[in-house]
Structure 1
Amino acid sequence: MKMRRIGDLTKPISSWTPQSDQDGADFTYVDLGSIDQDLKEIVGPRRLPTADAPSRARQIIHEDDVLVSTVRPNLNGVARVSGNLDEATASTGFSVLRPTDELVSAYLFHWVRSPEFVADMSLKSTGQSYPAVSDRIIKNSLIPVPSVREQQRIASALDAVDSLRVKRRKAIALLDELAQSIFLDMFGDPLQNPFDWPEVRFGDLLESSPQNGLSPSKAGSVEAKVLTLSAITGDRFDSNSWKTSTFKVVPPPAKSVRSSGFLVCRGNGNINLVGRGYFPVFDMPEVTFPDTMFSVSPSRRLMREYLQFIWSSKLVRNQIESLSRTTNGTFKINQQALTSVMVLVPPVDLQREFDKKVIAVNQVRRQYEAHLAELDALFASLQYRAFRGELWAEEIAPVA
């Protein structure tokens, strides 16, 4: 398949300076934060008065333009402009690609999402703390260009699978909302405590004092697996977030990751992540939890799923953020502060009922996640073959 420069297949765009507009009317602004990096969609355009326009608000965009963020290309902030954003204004932090008649917009959009394009841009980026590429680098990069008809068929195939992926992600998000709704319906908003559940000090709800993890050491000679903070700072426990490190001694079994141990983040540069906590999904006897985490063992007065939900509530988060202290730019919470957090404790039978409902929701969620993984694999396979000219018409038709 012939490779051609993107710049040879795109048109020039126009720009303006909103602050110089005499009418002073509002305009629609699309900045880098407007892009959902997972959905690859523009989800947060803003209406601004021209007098308040940022200096980067310059580029006029049209329907079917493809926006490519020039900042942190490894994150692949890309989107295709929909009709309702025709003639909006985009930040100069985007390279705006407006295809000629030789290039199908949807095909171009799928190309700038491809691993090949992302890897190329990441390799060509400059700047250690704020890696970026220029508009010229993007337009000088190459794209495989089959016939327009073939581009349309490839784009249709990829669109079909991608649409299923988006629907499955949205279904998973709805399940998460359902679980939260069940919590609020059964227990009310913890900040308001409408059912007057008793408030109990967290330390009084533990079987024993919080346990510190084991610190890896560069001078150590014992190699072992250790959990990373990202395992407990997302929206759920991530069992894949571990690495191999060295320790001065063989990590004892007591420091291994257990499904019964509620792991809490002791410190982070982001105050929103300090104190985050989750139960591991299963025992990980070969993985050690590090000294950047506490492991706590709740008593029978706190059920597993209830604790995870109440711990992520505003009631608990507000206390943790208030109790945390900063050292050299890192926010930390110590054992004393952690155990002083006040937690609402409804009857155990009610907590148990909630746990059963959440477990049922999570079972459906796992099924959806498995289906999404299959769709992701199919999409990656189609994408890989499509841009190598290996996706034949008879393969495209059943998918589209």
Structure 2
Amino acid sequence: MSWTNVTVGDAFDFVRNGKSIKQSKEVDGLPITRIETIADRIVDPARVGYAGLNEAGNEQWLLRNGDILFSHINSVDHIGKCAIYEGVPEKLLHGMNLLALRPGRLLHPKFAYYALSHDRFRARLLPFVNKAVNQASVSTTNLKTLEIPLPHLAEQKRIAAILDKADQLRQKRRQAIALLDSLTQSIFLEMFGDPVSNPKGWQWSKLGEIGNLDRGVSKHRPRNDPRLLGGAHPLIQTGDVSNSSGYIRAFRSTYSDLGLSQSKMWPAGTLCITIAANIASTGILTFPACFPDSVVGFSSSRPGMSQYVRVWMSFLKKTLETIAPAVAQKNINLAILRELDIPLPSAESLRKFNLAMDQLAIEQEKSRLQKQNSGVLFASLQHRAFSGQL
């Protein structure tokens, strides 16, 4: 059965920006969408703004079930991100810097959402993206000219139902990983108590006294060319640490330099701590690597200490972000890290904690593989769906 292609401007009743008004995070009136409301490709009621607005006089800005929010002003990587409004929160106003697209009568909302989320649509969108410093945008006029496939309504509903099931599987895998990640702090609290109040009376020490802390080398920069003299060495950057979920198992960049000595390489088992950008993110190296001076390496002769410090620092992250001075970006220094007070549990307690963390890491890896497989399945189904093969 043949499909037709229609422009976004024809398929949707309207494509428009939201109400322009200064927002705050203080709960006052109806919630209003912000760019971060759809950061995770869902409408997140915890990431909204407020401006003391009521329904009266703002009816035109109230979202309806099936409306699609589309990010048209963002970094290039996030341009085109979208989410479908499905009634949560119950009443939600459409704010500036996200477009709202209301599907027409011949367009099933969930099918429209998956069509706009597909790689093919993004490939058509990218040539129209206007790039600027730290931000990019696409105009409503250009967006309306792009085409999406339009099978008959019954076929749209069938395809959307199949993709919904595959997407639900992805969401479950993601939730399972989040649950396992939250168990890390729970295990710590159960075994050692609160790391700030130290209710179990563990001995206090300074972080700089229980191990070695040192920054990476400032000249480390991505080269990604193994043909350079000296060979290619794994280069761990702040993003690799922030996205590591505790263990750094992969890298995106390499560093090549004839004079790169082993003294500049950190061994597997080193705890990496970010001191700029996403402050106090941590990850344990699973392979030897080097890193720039925005990352600090921690190592200790005491068995199991890196794992303990990794989880301990997760409780201090917000505090460190608060005290970090902001210049071009927030950062902390070695002196701050070395002077942090840390409670020291017994060697036996550390041994039991590390065993628990090792077991948890195995379950986390299993869940991540399952998430990866469910993502591959979804991508395959989505490709087949919009190629008319599903």
In the alignment, which of 304, 307, 310 is matched to residue 308 of structure 1?
310
1:293 matched to which residue of 2?
Answer: 295
The alpha-carbon deviation at position 138 of structure 1 amounts to 2.1
Report the more deviating stretch, 217-226 or 148-157: 217-226
Structure 2: how far apart are the matches of 1:318 and 1:16? 35
Aligned position for 1:231:
240
Name whichever of 176-185 and 289-298 sits farther off: 289-298
Pairs within 5 Å for 1:66-85: 66-72=68-74, 74-75=77-78, 76-85=80-89
Q: 1:214 to 1:71 in 2, by over 3 A?
A: closer
With the length of structure 2 as denominator, give the TM-score of the two structures. Answer: 0.83
Alignment of 1:113-152 (within 5 A): 113-128=117-132, 129-152=134-157
Determine the C-alpha separation between the residues in 2 that align with 1:69 and 1:212: 36
What is the aligned length? Answer: 371
For residues 140 and 342 of structure 1, do their structure 2 counterparts lie closer, same or farther at Cα, with a shift above 3 Å needed?
same
- Tell me: CA distance 1:333–1:325, structure 2 relative to 1, closer, same or farther (3 Å): farther
Q: Aligned equivalents of 2:19 and 2:96: distance in 1?
A: 12
What is the aligned partner in structure 2 of residue 204 from structure 1? 209
> Does 2:351 align with 1:352?
yes
**Offset, 1:97:** 1.5
Corresponding residue number in structure 2 for 1:318? 319
Structure 2 CA distance for aligned equivalents of residues 8 and 311 of structure 1: 52
- What are the within-5 Å matches in structure 2 for residues 1-400 of structure 1? 1-12=3-14, 26-35=29-38, 37-44=39-46, 45-46=48-49, 48-50=51-53, 59-72=61-74, 74-75=77-78, 76-85=80-89, 88-128=92-132, 129-206=134-211, 208=212, 210=214, 212-213=216-217, 215-216=219-220, 222=230, 224-225=232-233, 226-234=235-243, 235-247=245-257, 249-265=258-274, 267-268=275-276, 270=277, 273-280=278-285, 282-284=286-288, 287-300=289-302, 303-314=305-316, 318=319, 322=323, 329=329, 331-334=331-334, 336-391=335-390
Q: CA offsets per residue over residues 298-324 of structure 1, 9 Å max, x none?
A: 12165332121012222x7636864x6
What are the superposed Cα offsets for residues 121-148 of structure 1, whole Å, 9 maximum, x if unpaired? 3331113122011222222211011121
Q: Secondary structure at the match of 1:344?
A: strand
Residues 319 and 341 in structure 1, CA contact (< 8 A), matched pair in contact too: no
Q: Aligned partners of 1:134, 1:330: CA distance in 2, in Å? A: 32
User: Where do 5+ consecutive residues of structure 1 fail to align?
Assistant: 20-24, 392-400
Contact 2:16 2:101 in 1 (8 A): no
Is this contact kept in 2: 1:214–1:255, CA < 8 A? no
TM-score by length of 1: 0.81
- Report how far residue 325 of structure 1 moved: 5.8
Q: Distance in 2 between matches of 1:295 and 1:17?
A: 47
Report the residue type matching 2:72 in the other structure: T
Instruction: Extract unaligned runs of 5+ from structure 2.
Output: 22-27
SS of residue in 2 equivalent to 1:210: strand
1:128-184 C-alpha deviation (Å, 9 max, x unpaired): 122011222222211011121221111111111000110111111111122211111
CA distance in 2, matches of 1:46, 1:274: 25
> RMSD over aligned Cα, in angstroms?
3.3
